[in-house]
C-alpha cells in the first residue's frame, strides 16, 4: 500500500475515525495504531513482522535489564548485546549475499571454496530504518536520556508505527514513544496542517518526481549510449531532483499522517540543494539519518574532539558506513567514500584558510553551484545498477556531445517546477498552508481527495514505488 494511493487515503480515513473514537483511553487507541500498522505492513508481506517482533523482544529484555541493574559494566554489556543482535539481523538479511559475492571474488582465484549460490533471503521492507530506530532507543536508555519502563507493546508500536516504518524518518523516542501516555488532542488548525502536508507530498511524488523519473531518468540511465552528453547530464540533474521530491514527498506524508494522530515528527529536509558546501548539504538532507549518524556513530567514535587525523578518519568511517546503509552493494560505499573525501577536503581547507563567517553572495553562489555539481555527479553512482554501468554513464557524459532533443516539453516544465519550488522561501510554503487550514474541514478533505485523483491523472505516468523503499 503506497502513501500516494487512493487505497491509503481510504485506509487512513478509517484508522483516523477509529483512533479518535477511543483516544481518551490509552490502550484502545494504541491498539488501533498497532492493528493499523500490522495491516499496513502486511499489504507487502507479513513474514518480516515476526522478525521485527523477535528482534524487538531481545532489545526489550536488554532495556529492562538496564533499568534493573545500575552496574555500568552490566548496562554497557546489555546495550552491546542489543546493538550486536540488531545489526546482526541487518547484516544477515541485507548484506549476506553481498559479503558472499565479495568472498567469491577475492578467494576463488586462491582456490578457496566459497558458496556461489545466492542465499536468496527476503529483505524486509524498511529493515534499515527499523534497525537504526531500534538502536537509537536502546542507546538512549543506556545514556539515561529516556526511561526503560515502557512495555513490550509500546516498544513494538514505537518501531512499527505505520507512517515511518517503511521509509522513515527515523523517529526519536521523545517524538513518539514518550508521548504514548499523553491523551492526544487535535485542533482544526493542526488537522488542516497535517492534511496540507499530505497533499503537498502527493503533488511532489506524482507530479514532479514520477514525471522526471519516467520521462528522462529511467530511459537515459537504461541506455546512456543512445543519448548525448548533454542529455546524460540533464538526466543526472533530473535524478537528483527526482530523488529529493520522491523522498521528501514520503516524509511530508509521514509527518502529515503522524500529525493527524497527535504526534509531531521532526522535519527531514531543509531545501538541501541550496547548500553552499557539502557539510551544509548533509545538515539539510535526510536530517533524521544525518543526525543519527552524528549522535550514534560519529560522536561515539570521538567526533572532532580527538586529533585532527583521527577526526578526518571518523568522518570517512561515518560517510562510508552511511553510504553502505543505503544498499547491499559496494557502489554505495564508493558513493559515501567520495562524499567523505570531499568533506575531508573542505575541513582541511577550513583549517588552513579559516572557515568564512560571511561568505558574501558571490562566494555563496559559487559554493552552491559546486556543491550541487558534486551531488549530481556522485548521484550517478547512486542511481546506476553497477559500477560498470556508472562508468559507461560517466564516459558518455564527458564525451561532450550536444543536443537535448530527447528532453520532452513536460520534463522541461517539471524541471522548472522543481527548481522554482525548491528555491521559494519556506515562508511562502507556510503561508499557503495557513490558507489551506482556514478552509472548512469538509473542503479540506475534498481537496485532499481531488489532489490524489487529479495529480495521478495529470502526471499520466505509471504509479512508481518510493525510491527509498529499497533501503
DSSP for 209-267 reads: IHHHIIIIIHHHHH-GGGS-HHHHHHHHHHHHHHHHHHHHHHHHHHHHHHHHTT--PPP
pLDDT of res. 462: 53
Q: Is pLDDT of 465 > 70? A: no
Q: Is pLDDT of 459 > 70? A: no
Q: How many CB atoms lie within 10 A of CB 452?
A: 19
Which residue from 119, 115, 117, 114 is spatially nearest to 92, judged by alpha carbons? 119
Out of 23, 326, 339, 430, the active site residue is: 326
* Of 61-65, 72-76, 106-110, 411-415, the least confident: 106-110
CB of 4 closer than 8 Å to CB of 202 = yes
Residue ranges in 120-187 assigned as alpha helix (H): 127-142, 152-160, 162-165
pLDDT of res. 90: 93
Which residue from 164, 159, 90, 95 is spatially nearest to 128, judged by alpha carbons? 90
Length of the chain: 471
* Of 139-143, 264-268, 343-347, 424-428, the least confident: 424-428
pTM confidence score: 0.90
Q: How many CB atoms lie within 10 A of CB 307?
A: 10
CB of 239 closer than 8 Å to CB of 383 = yes
Alpha-carbon gap, residue 315 to 309, rounded angstroms: 10
Burial of 186 (0-12, 13-18, 19+ CB in 10 A): middle
Which grid cell sits at 42? Answer: 502486511
Q: What is the pLDDT of residues 283-341, one digit of tens each?
A: 999 999 999 999 999 999 998 899 999 999 999 999 999 999 888 889 999 999 999 99
Alpha-carbon gap, residue 456 to 196, rounded angstroms: 17
Average pLDDT taken over every residue of the chain? 89
Q: How many CB atoms lie within 10 A of CB 46?
A: 11
Any idea what DSSP says for residue 304?
T
Alpha-carbon gap, residue 191 to 362, rounded angstroms: 42
Q: What is the pLDDT of residues 124-181, one digit of tens each?
A: 888 999 999 999 999 999 999 999 999 999 999 999 999 998 877 999 898 899 999 9
Higher pLDDT, 339 or 100: 339
Element (H, E) at 161: none
* Of 30-34, 196-200, 230-234, the least confident: 196-200
Q: How many CB atoms lie within 10 A of CB 226?
A: 12
pLDDT of res. 358: 73
pLDDT of res. 379: 94
Residue ranges in 22-126 assigned as alpha helix (H): 26-42, 47-68, 72-90, 96-107
* Of 162-171, 272-281, 436-445, 452-461, the least confident: 452-461
pLDDT of res. 452: 62
DSSP 315-359: HHHHHHHHHHHT-SSHHHHHHHHHHHHHHHHHHHHHHHH---S--
| Residue 208, C-beta contacts closer than 8 angstroms, at least 6 positions apart | 241, 242, 245, 414, 417, 418, 421
Which grid cell sits at 99? Answer: 559479503
Higher pLDDT, 273 or 195: 273
Any idea what DSSP says for residue 277?
S
Alpha-carbon distances, residue 37 vs 67, 130, 158, 165, 307 (angstroms)? 28, 13, 10, 9, 46
Q: Which residue has the cell 538541501?
A: 272
Alpha-carbon gap, residue 226 to 41, rounded angstroms: 40
| Percent of the chain clearing pLDDT 90 (strictly above) | 64
Which grid cell sits at 340? Answer: 567523505
Q: Which residue has the cell 513490550?
A: 152
Alpha-carbon gap, residue 51 to 125, rounded angstroms: 12
Burial of 471 (0-12, 13-18, 19+ CB in 10 A): buried
Q: How many CB atoms lie within 10 A of CB 276?
A: 19
Concerning whether 326 is annotated as a catalytic residue, the answer is yes
pLDDT of res. 104: 85
Q: Is pLDDT of 448 > 70? A: no
Q: Report residue 470's pLDDT band, with 50, 70 and 90 as the boundaries.
A: low
Q: What is the pLDDT of residues 199-217, one digit of tens each?
A: 889 889 888 998 899 899 9
CB of 170 closer than 8 Å to CB of 133 = yes
Q: How many CB atoms lie within 10 A of CB 81?
A: 16
Amino acid at each position: 500500500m503506497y502513501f500516494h494511493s487512493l487505497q491509503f487515503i481510504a485506509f487512513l480515513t478509517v484508522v483516523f475515525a477509529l483512533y479518535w473514537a477511543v483516544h481518551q483511553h490509552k490502550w484502545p487507541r494504541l491498539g488501533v495504531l498497532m492493528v493499523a500498522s500490522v495491516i499496513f505492513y502486511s499489504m507487502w508481506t507479513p513474514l518480516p513482522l515476526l522478525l521485527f517482533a523477535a528482534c524487538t523482544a531481545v532489545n526489550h529484555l536488554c532495556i529492562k535489564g538496564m533499568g534493573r541493574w545500575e552496574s555500568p559494566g552490566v548496562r554497557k554489556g546489555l546495550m552491546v548485546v542489543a546493538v550486536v543482535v540488531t545489526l546482526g539481523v541487518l547484516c544477515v538479511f541485507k548484506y549476506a549475499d553481498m559479503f558472499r559475492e565479495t568472498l567469491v571474488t577475492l578467494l576463488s582465484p586462491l582456490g578457496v571454496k566459497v558458496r556461489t549460490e545466492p542465499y536468496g533471503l527476503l529483505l524486509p521492507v524498511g529493515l534499515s530504518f527499523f534497525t537504526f530506530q531500534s538502536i537509537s532507543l536502546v542507546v538512549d536508555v543506556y545514556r539515561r536520556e529516556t526511561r526503560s519502563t515502557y512495555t513490550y507493546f509500546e516498544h513494538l508500536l514505537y518501531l512499527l508505527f505505520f507512517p515511518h516504518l517503511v521509509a522513515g524518518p527515523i523517529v526519536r523516542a521523545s517524538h513518539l514513544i514518550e508521548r504514548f501516555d499523553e491523551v492526544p488532542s487535535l485542533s482544526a488548525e493542526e488537522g488542516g496542517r497535517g492534511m496540507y502536508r499530505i497533499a503537498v507530498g502527493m503533488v511532489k511524488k506524482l507530479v514532479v518526481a514520477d514525471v522526471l523519473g519516467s520521462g528522462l531518468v529511467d530511459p537515459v540511465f537504461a541506455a546512456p549510449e543512445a543519448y548525448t552528453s548533454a542529455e546524460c547530464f540533464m538526466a543526472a540533474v533530473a535524478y537528483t531532483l527526482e530523488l529529493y521530491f520522491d523522498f521528501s514527498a514520503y516524509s511530508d506524508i509521514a509527518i502529515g499522517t503522524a500529525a493527524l494522530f497527535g504526534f509531531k515528527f521532526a522535519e527531514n529536509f531543509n531545501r538541501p540543494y541550496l547548500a553552499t558546501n557539502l557539510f551544509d548539504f548533509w545538515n539539510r538532507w535526510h536530517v533524521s539519518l544525518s543526525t543519527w549518524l552524528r549522535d550514534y556513530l560519529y560522536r561515539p567514535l570521538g567526533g572532532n574532539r580527538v586529533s585532527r587525523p583521527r577526526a578526518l578518519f571518523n568522518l570517512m568511517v561515518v560517510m562510508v558506513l552511511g553510504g553502505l546503509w543505503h544498499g547491499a552493494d559496494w557502489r554505495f560505499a564508493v558513493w559515501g567514500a567520495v562524499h567523505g573525501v570531499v568533506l575531508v577536503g573542505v575541513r582541511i581547507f577550513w583549517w588552513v584558510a579559516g572557515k568564512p563567517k560571511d561568505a558574501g553572495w558571490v562566494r555563496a553562489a559559487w559554493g552552491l553551484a559546486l556543491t550541487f555539481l558534486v551531488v549530481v555527479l556522485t548521484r550517478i553512482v547512486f542511481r546506476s545498477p553497477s559500477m560498470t554501468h556508472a562508468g559507461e554513464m560517466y564516459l558518455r557524459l564527458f564525451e561532450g556531445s550536444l543536443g537535448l532533443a530527447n528532453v520532452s516539453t513536460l520534463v522541461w516544465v517539471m524541471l522548472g517546477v522543481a527548481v522554482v519550488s525548491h528555491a521559494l522561501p519556506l515562508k511562502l510554503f507556510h503561508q499557503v498552508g495557513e490558507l489551506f487550514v482556514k478552509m472548512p474541514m469538509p473542503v479540506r478533505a475534498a481537496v485532499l481527495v481531488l489532489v490524489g485523483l487529479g495529480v495521478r491523472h495529470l502526471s499520466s505516468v505509471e504509479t512508481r514505488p518510493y525510491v527509498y523503499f529499497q533501503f
